[in-house]
């Protein structure tokens, strides 16, 4: 049984904001199915009483003083923006 | 004979005796680049004008009071996922083809303090995802030992440039083996430090809980000097460890009498080429002669490391790479009529196949209904993998095995099936999952291709890792061999 369908792949691509082609959807279905099937070997491992590790070091809640600092200059912020106007980043229409 | 055949400490002395200048060092780089770069293709961007200008300025100051530190004037190459102010930084991705950073990574600030000279930015797998540098959006870097073979990856440019003598040393980054594997393939020394030792601020994030920046060098001593320069706590990275950075070079005594080495049977098992196993067994004999002893041990969860790694690293990547949306920087698709299409088309056109595959895998593993089964399960197995290492380090000082199962493979050989490419990293991935330091040092050749010995230590025990690596290096001459280009 396959672990992931082409419809699921298209749904995930939408979540990931990728406009994949029909051909890519088919290829990705096969490739992801193979990778996920392999990854299911983890089900062999008994993890009932095991805590998850998200991070290897014992660092928690790193805080700093809540002091306002100057932000980036406007021209630097805009330096790499693909499109800008009047000191602001410009994007295509959000509401039609 | 190139100036780069000498160690940093020797070059430093030559500078002080006024036998050479910083300009000589920088010209050594660019001359070599003009000779061999057409074959090796390690660089994405050169910074010639600034490097020459800086060299002249540094030459004025040799021997003066404000000239300090061993790395003064040393030419370095930087992996292209480390942001460099006003120097194009692409991550080898079309999506960042024209990205000109407005700030320096913390490691770059530290290198500026040490007054190294940046020669250029080095090729890599796109966003550091890959094991061959073939996933670069711009060019294939070639292995200086055999131009039809890959240099490894993802820091393929960093390793190839050092092996080819284009720079004295370089910085790479290692998420699942991306410093150690190319170092092994190219016959140079590559260190993945303890997670948290080197600031990740300004390292374009791939998998934040695994990524570390580290040095690639010709010798262990140079590696220790370079790590010392870039390590240390940074308030700009909340996962940066607040620990003192020792003087690693002072640990290089050559004395490893009484050292207890663990050799995991899983690292000499199935899939590991016979010559690779033999080179490790020969290396262990060398270390025994120096007074160390070794025993076979087991890291029982090793076989689950690959699955764990791909689920976790891809999940983290899918979140990290969401910032590339065509709004604030990088490529924007000109074809879109509305915002949502702009995101989707920008990302579809800007990312390469491997990056898209991993974003897809990660998005799937984090999606509703699958999170517990894949992502959380992998996090739990990670705990067991980490514990395997802790158990071994109760009784042993270091763990030793090969860096890679095989020497460098041919360009194109592993491209058809992502899984065959992933298997390259089975011996390096567990080290990132556990967060411990690991180094690769040259330990032999198979049909003219370099092999690497991997030495793994406890958290923040880089000094001992370097000590063992150095003792081995001094007892052998593999590191003195150079590719004929």
Subunit contact A12:B195, Cβ cutoff 8 A: no
Q: Looking at residue B10, what is its pLDDT?
A: 97
pLDDT (0 to 100) of residue B70: 94
Closest CB to B379: pick one of A44, A52, A82. Answer: A52
Supply B144's token pair. 């200086």
CA B200 to chain centre: 13
B319 interaction partners in chain A (CB closer than 8 Å): none
Q: Is there a contact between A53 and B374 if contact means CB atoms under 8 Å apart?
A: no
Which chain A residue has its CA at the smallest distance from B354's CA?
Answer: A28
Residues 6+ apart with CB under 8 A from A80: B98, B99, B100, B102, B328, B329, B330
Q: In chain B, whose CA is at the least distance from the CA of A30?
A: B417
CB B167 within 8 A of CB B389: no
Chain B, residues 49-78, CB within 8 A of chain A, namely: none
Residue of A nearest to B211 (CA): A55
Candidates B321, B360, B361: best to mutate against A (most CBs of A within 10 A) is B360
Q: What is the pLDDT of residue B271?
A: 87
Kindly determine whether residue A53 and residue B379, on different chains, have CB atoms separated by under 8 Å. Answer: yes
Output the pLDDT for position A2.
Answer: 77
Unique residue bearing structure tokens 């293709």: B41
Under 8 Å CB pairs connecting chains A and B tally to 164
Task: Tell if the CB–CB gap between A19 and B348 is shorter than 8 Å.
Answer: yes
Confidence of residue A1 (pLDDT cuts 50, 70, 90): low
Q: From its phi and psi, is residue B423 left (phi > 0), alpha (psi between -120 and 50) or beta?
A: alpha
Low-confidence stretches of chain B (pLDDT beneath 50): none
Q: What is the pLDDT of residue B420?
A: 78
For residue A93, the chain B residues in CB contact (below 8 A) are 337-339
Contact B322 A17 (CB under 8 A): yes
Ranges of beta strands (E only) in B291-361 are 293-297
Within 10 angstroms of residue A93's Cβ, the number of other Cβ atoms is: 10
A34, B177, B439 from B191: Cα distances, Å: 32, 10, 4
| Model pLDDT, residue B170 | 98
Query: What is each CA distance from B70 to B13, B27, B73, in whole angstroms?
Result: 9, 19, 9
Chain A contacts in chain B segment 84-113 (CB below 8 A): 98-100, 102
- Say if strands B438-446 and B189-192 run parallel, antiparallel, or are unpaired: antiparallel
Nearest CA-CA distance, residue A96 and chain B, Å: 8
- Which helix (H) or strand (E) segment is B108 a member of? helix B106-114
CA B75 to chain centre: 18
Which positions in chain A touch B382 (Cβ < 8 Å)? 52-53
Statement: residue A38 has pLDDT above 70 = yes
Mean pLDDT value across chain B? 96
Is the sign of the CA dihedral B377, B378, B384, B387 positive or negative? Answer: negative
Alpha carbon distance A49, B326 (integer Å): 43
Question: Closest chain B residue to A80 measured between Cα atoms?
Answer: B329
* B239: nearest CB among A28, A42, A59: A59
- State residue B283's pLDDT score: 98
Q: How far apart are CA B301 and CA B308, in angstroms?
A: 10
Buried b (16+ CB within 10 A) or exposed e, B30-47: bebbeebbeebbbbbbbb
The CA-CA-CA angle for residues B213, B217, B221, to 5°, reads 105
B 292-331 residues with CB < 8 A to A: 301, 303-304, 306-308, 310-311, 318, 322, 325-331
Q: Catalytic positions of B, please?
A: 79, 154, 178
Q: Which of B338, B386, B459 sits opposite A92 (nearest CB)?
A: B338
- Taking a C-beta distance cutoff of 8 angstroms, is the pair B72, B20 a contact? no
Q: Which two tokens stand for residue B161?
A: 């440039």
Q: Are B389 and B299 in contact (CB under 8 A)?
A: yes
Residue B357 has its nearest CB partner, among A15, A31, A93, at: A31
Contact B347 A18 (CB under 8 A): yes
Question: Buried b / exposed e across A41-70, counting CB within 10 Å, b at 16+?
Answer: ebeebebeebeebebbbeeeeeeeeeeeee
pLDDT in tens, B390-445: 999 999 999 999 999 999 999 999 888 777 788 889 999 999 999 999 999 999 99
């Amino acid at each position: 049984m396959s672990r992931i369908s082409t419809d699921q792949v298209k749904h995930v691509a939408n979540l990931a904001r990728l406009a994949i082609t029909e051909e890519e959807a088919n290829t990705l279905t096969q490739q992801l199915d193979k990778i996920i099937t392999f990854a299911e070997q983890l089900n062999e491992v008994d993890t009932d009483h095991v805590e998850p590790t998200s991070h290897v070091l014992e660092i928690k809640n790193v805080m700093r003083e809540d002091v306002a600092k100057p932000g980036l200059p406007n021209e630097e912020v805009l330096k790499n923006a693909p499109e800008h106007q009047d000191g602001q980043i410009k994007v295509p229409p959000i509401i039609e | 004979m190139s100036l780069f055949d000498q160690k940093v400490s020797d070059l430093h002395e030559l500078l002080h005796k006024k036998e050479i200048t910083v300009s000589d060092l920088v010209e050594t780089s660019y001359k070599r680049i003009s000779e061999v770069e057409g074959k090796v293709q390690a660089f994405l961007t050169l910074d010639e004008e600034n490097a020459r200008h800086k060299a002249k300025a540094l030459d004025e100051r040799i021997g003066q009071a404000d000239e300090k530190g061993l790395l003064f004037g040393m030419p370095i190459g930087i992996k292209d996922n480390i942001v460099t102010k006003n120097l194009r930084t692409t991550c080898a991705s079309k999506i960042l083809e024209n990205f000109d950073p407005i700030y320096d990574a913390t490691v770059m600030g530290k290198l500026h303090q040490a007054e190294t000279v940046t020669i250029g930015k080095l090729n890599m797998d796109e966003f550091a995802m890959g094991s061959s540098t073939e996933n670069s959006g711009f060019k294939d870097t070639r292995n200086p030992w055999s131009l039809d073979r890959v240099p490894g990856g993802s820091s393929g440019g960093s390793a190839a440039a050092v092996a080819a003598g284009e720079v004295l040393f370089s910085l790479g980054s290692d998420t699942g083996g991306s410093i150690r594997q190319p170092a092994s393939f190219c016959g140079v020394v590559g260190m993945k430090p303890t997670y948290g030792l080197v600031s990740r601020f300004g390292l374009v994030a791939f998998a934040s809980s695994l990524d570390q920046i580290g040095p690639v060098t010709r010798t262990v001593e140079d590696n220790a000097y370079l790590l010392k320069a870039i390590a240390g706590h940074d308030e700009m990275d909340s996962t940066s460890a607040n620990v003192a950075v020792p003087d690693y070079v002072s640990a290089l005594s050559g004395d490893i009498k009484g050292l207890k080495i663990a050799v995991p049977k899983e690292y000499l098992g199935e899939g590991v080429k016979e010559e690779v196993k033999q080179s490790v067994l020969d290396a262990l004999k060398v270390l025994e002669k120096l007074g160390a002893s070794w025993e076979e041990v087991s890291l029982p969860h090793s076989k689950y490391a690959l699955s764990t790694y791909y689920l976790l690293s891809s999940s983290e990547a899918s979140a990290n790479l969401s910032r590339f949306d065509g709004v604030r920087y990088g490529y924007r698709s000109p074809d879109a009529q509305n915002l949502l299409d702009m995101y989707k088309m920008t990302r579809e056109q800007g990312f390469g196949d491997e990056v898209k595959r991993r974003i897809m895998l990660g998005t799937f593993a984090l999606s509703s209904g699958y999170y517990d089964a894949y992502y959380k399960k992998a996090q739990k197995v990670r705990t067991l993998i980490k514990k395997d290492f802790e158990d071994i380090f109760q009784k042993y000082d270091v763990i030793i095995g090969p860096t890679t199962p095989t020497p460098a493979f041919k360009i194109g050989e592993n491209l058809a099936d992502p899984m065959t490419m992933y298997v390259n990293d089975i011996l390096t991935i567990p080290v990132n999952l556990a967060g411990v330091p690991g180094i690769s040092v040259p330990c032999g050749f198979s049909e003219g291709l370099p092999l690497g010995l991997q030495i793994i230590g406890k958290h923040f025990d880089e000094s001992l890792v370097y000590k063992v690596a150095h003792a081995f290096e001094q007892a052998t001459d593999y590191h003195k061999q150079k590719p004929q280009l």
